[in-house]
Structure 1
Amino acid sequence: MQLPDLDALPAELREAVAQRGNIHVYRMVTHSPGLAPSFLTMATDMFMANSLPPVWRELVILRVGHRYEAPYEIHHHVNIARAVGLGDAAIAAAGSGDLDAVEPAEKLLIELANALLDRHTLTDDERDAARTILDVDQLAALVLTVGFYQLVSNFLNTFGVTIEQF
């Protein structure tokens, strides 16, 4: 689907997209001008207010992107993951699901993401395991991050959002 004409948008929405770099996902979401402001706020908060350490946040986002086969999401978040210091073995594991070469915490985070993606909840044992490395705030952030990036991946795939050519 074609990107919206930003010039046709209300000034505050046009500015909100511009402040975030005019990347395609943010532009495309303006096809829903009533929901776009809240989406943009949540997207920003996923980075600025997320209690997960950035490397764990990106690991989980990459796992969701790969499970949803969302190339746009994967492309951008591999770059972000590298920028925040996530190692190549963890990036590869997020893609393949092969957990042999990752640290125990990374393995657990991928397993938790898989459980949320597969069953839409965690068992008592999985919650207990999560609490060995995450406080309650971080566990909530994990669940919200998986859920938000499911939404994002569904949106990207449905609208065929393409990777920017800078």
Structure 2
Amino acid sequence: MATDDAQPRVEPLPVEQWAPEVRAVWTADSLKSKEDELPAHLAHMPDTLNLTRILAHHPELAVALYPLSTLVNAGLLSPRDRELVTLRAALRSRSGYLWSHHYETAQAVGVTEAEVLRTAEDPSAVIWSPHEAALISSVDEVCDTSVIGAATWKQLRRTYDDAQVLQLLALIGTYRFLATVLNTAGAALDEWRPERPLPTVNVAGQRSTTR
């Protein structure tokens, strides 16, 4: 959920005002030059993100985030698993910015639009594979208690090894952090990305979450 302020609390910094080390990493052109090491949704953005324009106010943080973002968006988890987790994290964090971006990104890796919308539902009440239901439940449990519960853990370990579970936790934590930055800064969605309304979230054993 964004702030109630009429204007952004932290204005996106124009690229020409960025520190050289940030420009070398985070402009759209610099990301395109690294497409061999990045997932497509990072390497092929048409313009520089408002998220990184905000982070550019803190050059050390912006630069440090690059390897973490690269790690959690590639590697040990399948693109489908990664996007289901990211969508649920965006919803639980009430980040319209992340939801709108990953609404498109998820479909680019094979998640159907119906499945994207289904990530807002109670995972025990809709048709997911047991593994995918556990992925979505893991986001809820981390958001609610900062720990994955025993039943969800048992199901995850049928598929994931130690390294994959750690990457899952890093993925959830990274997107929770980004959502907090975006929501608190009052970041506007990038003009080139269609806005997708945040649906109501249904969580097992809880009332629907709308904010």
Query: Does the CA-based 8 Å contact 1:13-1:37 persist in structure 2?
Result: yes
- Residue in 2 that maps onto 1:15: 24
**Residue 87 in 1 paired to residue 109 in 2?**
no
Query: Does the CA-based 8 Å contact 1:90-1:102 persist in structure 2?
Result: no
Equivalent runs, 1:141-160 vs 2, <5 Å: 141-160=167-186
Cα deviation for residue 125 of structure 1 reads: 3.5
Equivalent runs, 1:39-118 vs 2, <5 Å: 39-49=65-75, 51-97=76-122, 99-118=125-144
Query: Does the CA-based 8 Å contact 1:24-1:164 persist in structure 2?
Result: yes
Cα deviation for residue 104 of structure 1 reads: 2.5
Cα deviation for residue 37 of structure 1 reads: 0.3
State the identity as a percent: 24
Cα deviation for residue 149 of structure 1 reads: 0.6
**TM-score normalised to structure 1 length:** 0.90
Between 90-99 and 149-158, report the one with greater CA deviation. Answer: 90-99
Query: Does the CA-based 8 Å contact 1:112-1:122 persist in structure 2?
Result: yes
Q: How many residues align?
A: 165
Q: Gapped runs of 5+ residues in structure 1?
A: none
Distance 2:98 2:50 in 1: 11
Structure 1 runs (4+) deviating above 4 angstroms are none
| Structure 1 vs Structure 2 CA RMSD | 1.7
Cα deviation for residue 152 of structure 1 reads: 0.6
Query: Does the CA-based 8 Å contact 1:90-1:106 persist in structure 2?
Result: no
**Residue 119 in 1 paired to residue 128 in 2?**
no
CA offsets 1:3-22 (integer angstroms, 9 cap, x no match): 11322222221232212341
Between 53-62 and 31-40, report the one with greater CA deviation. Answer: 31-40
SS at match of 2:56: helix
SS at match of 2:99: helix
Distance 2:162 2:115 in 1: 24
Distance 1:88 1:165 in 2: 21
Query: Does the CA-based 8 Å contact 1:56-1:109 persist in structure 2?
Result: yes
> Could you say which structure has the higher helix fraction?
1
**TM-score normalised to structure 2 length:** 0.72
Distance 1:122 1:83 in 2: 29
CA offsets 1:43-99 (integer angstroms, 9 cap, x no match): 1222233x1111010100100100111000001111110000113343122223354
Q: Gapped runs of 5+ residues in structure 2?
A: 1-7, 32-46, 193-211
Q: Match of 2:112, as an amino acid?
A: G
Query: Does the CA-based 8 Å contact 1:3-1:24 persist in structure 2?
Result: yes
**Residue 165 in 1 paired to residue 191 in 2?**
yes
